[in-house]
Structure 1
């Protein structure tokens, strides 16, 4: 992943809760495999509507010839990771409609996070680091 200082929604950036970044490396068949996940928040736009999203971002890299560094969350994220499908949202808010959990307590927690996130677009949510993208360097 690449950490960018500037937010560009077209680069599909993620804000990462660094305290949740995990990674496990495996060595087999003379190559390394890396898999992990983290909590993330992100904005997306569809048909002119901006959405604030909260969920899990899966992190992986396969067929690495050199052992990946997993010494810190930032270093883990800087590995040549893939997450072609993006984040797995647990909750999404567009200013009118919520999509996500059917449990009222989880809905309340999600909306307490997503409503101010969307209101402060494109600011980073408190406690999150960003902006991280899987897209190549510019």
Structure 2
């Protein structure tokens, strides 16, 4: 991934929570996951999304910027766990998770296209 300072919707960028990098072993592979937030257009409406980016890599690192720099396969994009369009929420059915998502997504969409607090951006493939 490449870090850019400017937001350009056409590049489909992600803002990431650098403190959220985790690793797990899946079979014989190492999978890193990092929390992310992003804007997209759905049916002509700008939406705010929250979820994660993941990648299989040869070795772990505690440096999230190195993880992102090595993350070169963006064909799957982010795994969206919650989405807010200004009127409707889509995502978790657990009320605590829904409240957590909306606490991020509502102000994020209202401040479009700014990076949400606690995130680093913009990262793109």
Category of TM-score, reference length = shorter chain: 0.7 to 0.9
The total of aligned residue pairs comes to 123
Question: TM (normalized to structure 2)?
Answer: 0.86
Gaps of 5+ in 2: none
Gaps of 5+ in 1: 62-66
Asked if the contact 2:55/2:71 (under 8 Å) is kept, the reply is no
1:64-101 superposed Cα distances (whole Å, 9 cap, x missing partner)? xxx76835111221115213111111110000110011
Residue 56 (structure 2) aligns with? 60
Question: TM (normalized to structure 1)?
Answer: 0.79
The alpha-carbon deviation at position 104 of structure 1 amounts to 1.6
CA RMSD of aligned residues (A): 2.1
Q: Between Structure 1 and Structure 2, whose CA radius of gyration is higher?
A: 1
Alignment of 1:128 with 2:119, yes or no, is yes
| Matches of 1:8 and 1:54, distance apart in 2 | 18
Asked if the contact 2:24/2:32 (under 8 Å) is kept, the reply is yes
